[in-house]
Amino acid sequence: MSQSSPFLSNDQLLEVFNYTHTATAVHVGETAIIQSANDAMLRIWGKDRSVIGKSLEDALPELKGQPFIEMFRKVWLEGMLISGKDTAADLLIDGELKTFYFDFEYRAIKNDEGKTICILHTAVDVSERVLRREAVEREQEKEEALQREQVLNEELAATVEELAATNEELVATNEELQETQETLHVLNNELELRVVERFNQLSESEKRFKTMAEGTDILIAVGDEEGNAIYFNKPWTALTGRSMKDLLAFGWADLIHPEDRDRYMNIYLSALRDKIAFSGEFRILTRKGDYRWLLTNGPPRFHADGSFAGYISSCIDITERKLIELERLNLNKLIEASSEFIALVGLDMSIQYLNPAALRKLGWANSKNRNILEVIFPADRPAAEKLLPGVLAGTNFKQEIRFWNEETGNPFWIEWNGFAIKDQETDKITAIASVSADITERKLYQEELQDINLEMAAANEELATTNEELAQTHEDLIQYTKKLADSEERLLQAIDTGKMGTWSIDPKTLEITVSGFVKNLLGLPLDEPATMDDIMSAIDPDYHDIFNTALSNALNNHSSSDNEYPITNLTTGEEKWVRATGRVFVDQHGHMTEYSGLFIDITEQKLDELRKNDFIGMVSHELKTPLTAINGFVQVLQRKAKKDEDNYEMIALEKTNSQIRKMTTMINGFLNVSRLESGKLLIEKTNFNLDELLKEAIEETYISQSSHKIILHPTCGVDIHADRDKIGNVISNLISNGIKYSDNGTRIEITCKTTEHEVELQIKDEGIGIKPDDIDKLFERYYRVQGNHTISGFGIGLYLSAEIIERHGGRIWAESEEGKGSVFHFTLPLSY
């Protein structure tokens, strides 16, 4: 939470001072004791941080005799401001006393009572500017001298012309001419000396610049008016490991980080085009192979005539500052990503900040205009009102308390940690911070543990009374263990002789272990571990979805499985049928430890079953032909009875037609079972609207039976990808069952619920209900509820419905209460 404090510590203030290029220091007392100084000021003084705490005279003895120490004393005593520009100061740098020029300011900082508490000292090294100006002035003086000499030469030339025009006078004034020539010779010699002196001065100025540039740790470079580099100081070569030749050949641009190069070069070239100053940050490759951040400033330079001469740019290393900025950014991200409850509260108890996790826990969109007491569960607010004033007095607290979610109204437990945020200088409390962990699970566990302890205490009493009984049954247990060992041995023998094998899947790694029988059955090598890919290769591809659904339900829902699959032996190519049963085993905490079961060779039984289904299918198919003919004759007789207005015949024929419809439905059911179990029941999926299918099923039901009120709630308007006819059969079967097992005039309600991945359909009736013992067996083949033999049927409708839904990757189940009705549910996936 320190990042959120509105005040900076001394170290943080010093860090801020270090970021500025302006040399800054803070002094106290008449002797100007140095309380703090940034790196820029220390570089000007040529000192390190050991001078902090010393007086200015002790830290810089060379200032004795100069006016600066007396200026500090005057500012301290009189509370005034003293400043200067282009002021010379002699400083001892690396053991050598040098003269520098500064723009400086000594400003008295006062408290509310007007008393000076410190002196803010800022300085800017303008030595280069002053020296350049002096050099320009000397250049101008030399130019003026040269101009005067040129005028003199012109006058001499005019004199020569006059002498040529007056040749006769020249002879007469030969001595005067001789003197003039001698004077001219002296002037020429003086002019040559002045030119040499000017060249030497310019060389000396350039030498002083290079000496200063080579003696600093700042990276300095000079460019000409075309943008070409003409000089780099030694820090450049030391940092990059490149020679001066490589740097001058634009090699410095190749060292810029690829992500920064285009941006920085655009800044530089744009400034060059407009001949204006530029600045920017970029990363540069060092001789060590890493990148360092540089901050560059490039003021333009001009010739004496005002024409553009190029740039003198300076770069300083800001890598540490950039790393600190990155750390701050990462810390802010950590706070934003933290799952703990983090808050900052003002002295008036208003919430100034909540991290995203806190907002989610509270069910708030934001914390604007909110009070800290609003997050506390109403029953716990009196306790919180006693804790918070203590923080304002400087007392931190740690309390287990309930906060609450405003959307759900549910409380949750928090280990509330509250502490004060203080101003580093005044030590006054400015805010209250809170970093608190959610301990709801721990509290619930403690409550459960307390209940368990009470139960254990009661159990201990019972245990004490049963110790004697346990002692008496110890011998029985030994005997039972022997019998159990014998039973296990017999079980293994039974497994071997019953064409069965064992398998097991690790729920964490999905590693599969199978017995030798299973490996032989699937055609896998006995000396190599089996893999899931091996198992899937042996199972018929049409049954992969059923296998994956069973595995997913076991891992995710801890459901048992019992499925039949056709397989092909991977070695011999022999086709067989297996039955795979599976059960999930969990530990005492409900965590899944194993998913295992039996692999049973049911080829003979399956072949018998298929032959039986083929027979049933053949018989059912043969029965449909006479039924179709009977149905046609009945329809002819119905038209005749209607024409003759014979009510008795019409009623008898209607009942006959109803029985034909029932028989046709049963025969179709037998045919579908036959096709299903012989693998000929095909699922042909298309895209269709579920609501439209439901309306069609209801209309067909009303045509044949209108004794019940069927209500479709408008919640099924979704498109699904499935076999429309077969899903329609499932819906019609469930509606017919609801009508069949409920009284006339009652309601059948159809409702849909959708989630992100699936749609759930519910068909509710007000019928006789189903006994709990029958619920789990409803979807078994040929199973009929006991006690309802007055209602016709062979128990294949729900079995077929379950198989169709399962082959679509869905689930089907029922809920019921005897005497009040039943609700049948099934789901279908929405993703294609």
pLDDT one-digit tens code per residue, 508-526: 888 888 888 888 888 989 8
**Structural contact between residues 239 and 284, judged by C-beta atoms closer than 8 angstroms:** yes
Is the residue at 452 inside a domain?
Answer: no
Alpha helices in 527-602 (DSSP H): 532-538, 544-557
With bands split at pLDDT 50, 70 and 90, how would you rate the model's confidence at 612?
Answer: low
Residue 20 has pLDDT above 90, yes or no: no
Q: What mean pLDDT do residues 21-46 have?
A: 88
**Structural contact between residues 278 and 308, judged by C-beta atoms closer than 8 angstroms:** no
Residue 11 has pLDDT above 70, yes or no: no
Looking at the structure, tell me whether residues 825 and 697 fall in a common domain. yes
Is the residue at 414 inside a domain?
Answer: yes
Q: What mean pLDDT do residues 711-715 have?
A: 85
Report CA-CA distances (Å) from 264 to 259, 270, 293, 558, 742: 10, 10, 12, 61, 82
Whole-angstrom distance, CA of residue 492 vs CA of residue 245: 87
Q: Which residue has the higher pLDDT, 643 or 170?
A: 643
Residue 464 has pLDDT above 70, yes or no: no
Query: Is residue 360 classed as helix, strand or coil in its secondary structure?
Result: helix
**Structural contact between residues 136 and 111, judged by C-beta atoms closer than 8 angstroms:** no
- Give the pLDDT confidence score for residue 194 in this predicted structure: 57
Residue 1 has pLDDT above 50, yes or no: no
The DSSP bridge pattern shows strands 341-345 and 500-505 to be unpaired
With bands split at pLDDT 50, 70 and 90, how would you rate the model's confidence at 624?
Answer: low
Rounded to the nearest 10 degrees, what angle do helices 127-165 and 174-214 cross at?
160
- Give the pLDDT confidence score for residue 741 in this predicted structure: 85
Considering 644, 673, 702, which residue would you say is the last residue of a domain?
A: 673
Least confident of 196-210, 322-336, 446-460: 196-210
Alpha helices in 502-602 (DSSP H): 516-522, 532-538, 544-557
pLDDT tens readout for residues 719-747: 999 999 889 889 988 998 888 888 888 99
- Give the pLDDT confidence score for residue 792 in this predicted structure: 46
Least confident of 279-288, 301-310, 342-351, 605-614: 605-614
Residue 44 has pLDDT above 80, yes or no: yes
Looking at the structure, tell me whether residues 647 and 712 fall in a common domain. no
Whole-angstrom distance, CA of residue 224 vs CA of residue 272: 10
Report CA-CA distances (Å) from 446 to 143, 293, 450: 96, 54, 6
Looking at the structure, tell me whether residues 12 and 75 fall in a common domain. yes
Q: What mean pLDDT do residues 685-696 have?
A: 91
Q: What mean pLDDT do residues 276-300 have?
A: 91
**In this structure, which amino acid lies at residue 311?**
Y
Q: Roughly how many angstroms between the first and final C-alpha of the chain, as a whole number?
A: 48
Q: Which residue has the higher pLDDT, 365 or 473?
A: 365
Which residues form the domain of 624? 607-673
- Give the pLDDT confidence score for residue 162 in this predicted structure: 62
Looking at the structure, tell me whether residues 581 and 594 fall in a common domain. yes
Looking at the structure, tell me whether residues 713 and 593 fall in a common domain. no
Q: Whose structure tokens read 């964490």?
A: 508
Provide long-range contacts, Cβ within 8 A and 24+ apart, for 77-81: 77/30, 78/108, 79/108, 79/110, 79/114, 79/115, 79/116, 80/108, 81/105, 81/106, 81/107, 81/108
pLDDT tens readout for residues 757-813: 899 999 999 998 888 888 878 887 656 565 454 444 446 778 888 888 988 889 999
Rounded to the nearest 10 degrees, what angle do helices 647-677 and 797-807 cross at?
40
**Structural contact between residues 496 and 521, judged by C-beta atoms closer than 8 angstroms:** no
Q: What mean pLDDT do residues 593-612 have?
A: 77
- Give the pLDDT confidence score for residue 223 in this predicted structure: 87
Considering 652, 673, 694, which residue would you say is the last residue of a domain?
A: 673
Of 44, 41, 73, nearest to 57 by C-alpha is 73
With bands split at pLDDT 50, 70 and 90, how would you rate the model's confidence at 826?
Answer: very high
Alpha helices in 498-602 (DSSP H): 516-522, 532-538, 544-557
Residue 251 has pLDDT above 80, yes or no: no
- Give the pLDDT confidence score for residue 790 in this predicted structure: 42
Q: Has this prediction a pTM greater than 0.75? A: no
- Give the pLDDT confidence score for residue 3 in this predicted structure: 47
Q: What mean pLDDT do residues 612-636 have?
A: 60
Most confident of 13-22, 144-153, 442-451, 768-777: 768-777
Looking at the structure, tell me whether residues 309 and 353 fall in a common domain. no
Look up the CATH number of the domain holding residue 522.
3.30.450.20
- The tokens describing 628, both together, are 């179709």
Residue 366 has pLDDT above 70, yes or no: yes
Looking at the structure, tell me whether residues 297 and 348 fall in a common domain. no
Query: Is residue 65 classed as helix, strand or coil in its secondary structure?
Result: coil
Least confident of 282-296, 468-482, 788-802: 468-482
Give 417's strand partners: 398
Q: What mean pLDDT do residues 435-454 have?
A: 78
Residue 474 has pLDDT above 50, yes or no: yes
Of 153, 46, 29, nearest to 100 by C-alpha is 46
- The tokens describing 608, both together, are 């018998």
- Give the pLDDT confidence score for residue 781 in this predicted structure: 67
pLDDT tens readout for residues 637-683: 777 777 777 777 777 777 776 677 667 666 666 555 555 555 556 77
Q: What are the φ and ψ backbone dihedral angles of 84, each rounded to 5 degrees?
A: -160, 160
Is the residue at 333 inside a domain?
Answer: no
The DSSP bridge pattern shows strands 747-754 and 719-722 to be unpaired
Is the residue at 257 inside a domain?
Answer: yes
Q: What mean pLDDT do residues 164-190 have?
A: 60
Give 432's strand partners: 345, 420
Q: What is the dihedral of CA 243, 248, 249, 252, to 10 degrees?
A: 70
Centre a 10 Å sphere on the Cβ of residue 382 and count the other Cβ atoms it contains.
9
Is the residue at 792 inside a domain?
Answer: yes
Most confident of 119-123, 245-249, 323-327, 428-432: 119-123
Looking at the structure, tell me whether residues 150 and 173 fall in a common domain. yes
Is the residue at 298 inside a domain?
Answer: yes
Centre a 10 Å sphere on the Cβ of residue 63 and count the other Cβ atoms it contains.
20
**Cα 582 from chain centroid (whole Å):** 39
- Give the pLDDT confidence score for residue 550 in this predicted structure: 86
Alpha helices in 308-409 (DSSP H): 319-337, 356-362, 381-392
Least confident of 575-584, 606-615, 716-725: 606-615
**Structural contact between residues 765 and 735, judged by C-beta atoms closer than 8 angstroms:** no
pLDDT tens readout for residues 398-425: 888 899 898 888 999 988 888 888 877 7
Is the residue at 367 inside a domain?
Answer: yes
Looking at the structure, tell me whether residues 653 and 774 fall in a common domain. no
Give 829's strand partners: 758
With bands split at pLDDT 50, 70 and 90, how would you rate the model's confidence at 195?
Answer: very low
Q: Provide DSSP, 445-494.
A: HHHHHHHHHHHHHHHHHHHHHHHHHHHHHHHHHHHHHHHHHHHHHHHHHH
Looking at the structure, tell me whether residues 78 and 149 fall in a common domain. no
pLDDT tens readout for residues 567-579: 999 888 888 888 8
**Structural contact between residues 592 and 559, judged by C-beta atoms closer than 8 angstroms:** no
**Structural contact between residues 349 and 371, judged by C-beta atoms closer than 8 angstroms:** yes
Of 744, 661, 662, 726, nearest to 688 by C-alpha is 726
- Give the pLDDT confidence score for residue 419 in this predicted structure: 82
Looking at the structure, tell me whether residues 80 and 185 fall in a common domain. no
Considering 293, 324, 355, which residue would you say is the last residue of a domain?
A: 324
**Structural contact between residues 31 and 57, judged by C-beta atoms closer than 8 angstroms:** yes
Q: Provide DSSP, 140-153.
A: HHHHHHHHHHHHHH
Looking at the structure, tell me whether residues 754 and 813 fall in a common domain. yes
Task: Name the DSSP letter for residue 742.
Answer: S
Q: What mean pLDDT do residues 349-354 have?
A: 88
Q: What mean pLDDT do residues 144-157 have?
A: 74
Tally of residues, the chain: 832
Percent of the chain past pLDDT 90, that is, above it, reads: 16
Helix (H) or strand (E) holding 131: helix 127-165
**Structural contact between residues 548 and 538, judged by C-beta atoms closer than 8 angstroms:** no
Q: Is the dihedral angle over the CA atoms 465, 466, 469, 470 positive or is it negative?
A: negative
Centre a 10 Å sphere on the Cβ of residue 585 and count the other Cβ atoms it contains.
12
Residue 165 has pLDDT above 90, yes or no: no
**Structural contact between residues 804 and 789, judged by C-beta atoms closer than 8 angstroms:** no
Residue 293 has pLDDT above 50, yes or no: yes
Q: What mean pLDDT do residues 126-154 have?
A: 82
Is the residue at 708 inside a domain?
Answer: yes
Whole-angstrom distance, CA of residue 710 vs CA of residue 758: 24
Radius of gyration of the chain (CA): 50
pLDDT tens readout for residues 254-266: 889 999 989 988 9
- Give the pLDDT confidence score for residue 514 in this predicted structure: 87
The DSSP bridge pattern shows strands 719-722 and 709-712 to be unpaired
Q: What mean pLDDT do residues 443-455 have?
A: 74
Q: Whose structure tokens read 């307390």?
A: 450
- The tokens describing 87, both together, are 């002021």
**Structural contact between residues 797 and 784, judged by C-beta atoms closer than 8 angstroms:** no
Q: What mean pLDDT do residues 320-338 have?
A: 75
Task: Name the DSSP letter for residue 173.
Answer: T
- The total of structural domains in the chain comes to 7
Q: Which residue has the higher pLDDT, 183 or 311?
A: 311
**Structural contact between residues 590 and 580, judged by C-beta atoms closer than 8 angstroms:** no
**Structural contact between residues 56 and 73, judged by C-beta atoms closer than 8 angstroms:** no
